[in-house]
Amino acid sequence: SGTLFVVATPIGNLADLTHRAVTVLRDCDWVACEDTRHSQRVFQEYGIQARTIALHQHNEHQESARLIGFLQSGQHVALVSDAGTPLISDPGFTLLQLAHEAGITVSPIPGPSALTAFLSVVALNTQPFTFHGFIPAKSAQRQKFYESLKPLTATHVFYESSHRVLNSVTQIVTVFGADAVVGMGRELTKKFEHIFRGTAGQLLDLMNSDSNQLKGEFVLAIQAEKPLVTAQLDEQIQSLAVALTPHL
Ligand code: SAM
């Protein structure tokens, strides 16, 4: 049977398509796209003439089954999403699940993701980190969600929309305090890229003072005061110290 390639595409800057991605997209028989018109912009940039199929949440079951048929007949299929890495808060789960069940070879063509691009520059503790993708859109549910993360034992990373980001950061200040260490990545790889690392209070001030800071695409993160591993290590050191004390 054919191979299902899962191909990462740019998160803003069209130059961020890997050499391998170009080759695979050119050579495969079908490209399953979240939005075919959106992906055409990337394909045009690289002169890729792809035979595309739209695969999104409304037709995922039907089209995934059809794509599995193509793969079983020996054709190669690439999966792309509108931006970044498929299945990272993007469609494709059903197709991948069916491919695994059918014993089809799957292969990643790695590249950009807003998640890893952000963590690579923001200098927040990533051991461990928890990625939530999109968090609840309704304000009351989001507040509850933030409260459920307390006490923070890992750095928590989210995708947030520009419509809600101010409210979201306000809630972070309320729940975790103005001194909580947070990060924000806005418009990564694009013209108005902005990376923020500081306290939640400072981020809120920045957003309130400059409405341009509320435009575009966002990744947010809150850092654990004491990550779980450090907390556990501290505990172990303390009990070791207690055990040794009588002998000193
Ligand atoms: N699969 C994508 C990835 O690997 O990053 C994520 C897709 S998700 C539908 C889109 C969300 O990712 C946006 O709402 C935003 O929160 C985040 N995002 C995507 N591109 C971004 C960028 N250039 N800068 C900051 N955040 C971005």
The reported pLDDT for the residue numbered 238 is 75
Write out pLDDT tens, residues 50-89.
999 999 989 999 999 999 999 999 999 999 999 999 999 9
The reported pLDDT for the residue numbered 232 is 67
Write out pLDDT tens, residues 3-61.
999 999 999 999 999 999 999 999 999 999 999 999 999 999 999 999 999 999 899 99
The interaxial angle of helices 139-148 and 165-176, nearest 10 deg, is 40
**List of residues 6+ apart from 197 with CB closer than 8 A:** 122, 123, 124, 181, 182, 183
The finding on whether 117 has its CB within 6 A of some atom of ligand 1 is no
The reported pLDDT for the residue numbered 246 is 63
Atom of ligand 1 nearest to the CA of 81: 1
215 C-alpha vs ligand 1 centroid, how far in Å? 13
Coil/strand/helix, residue 132: strand
Atom of ligand 1 nearest to the CA of 86: 1
Please state whether 190 falls in left (phi above 0), alpha (psi between -120 and 50) or beta: beta
Global pTM reads 0.92
Coil/strand/helix, residue 119: helix
In the predicted structure, residue 248 carries a pLDDT above the cut 60: no
Atom of ligand 1 nearest to the CA of 112: 4
The finding on whether 115 has its CB within 6 A of some atom of ligand 1 is yes
The finding on whether 122 has its CB within 6 A of some atom of ligand 1 is no
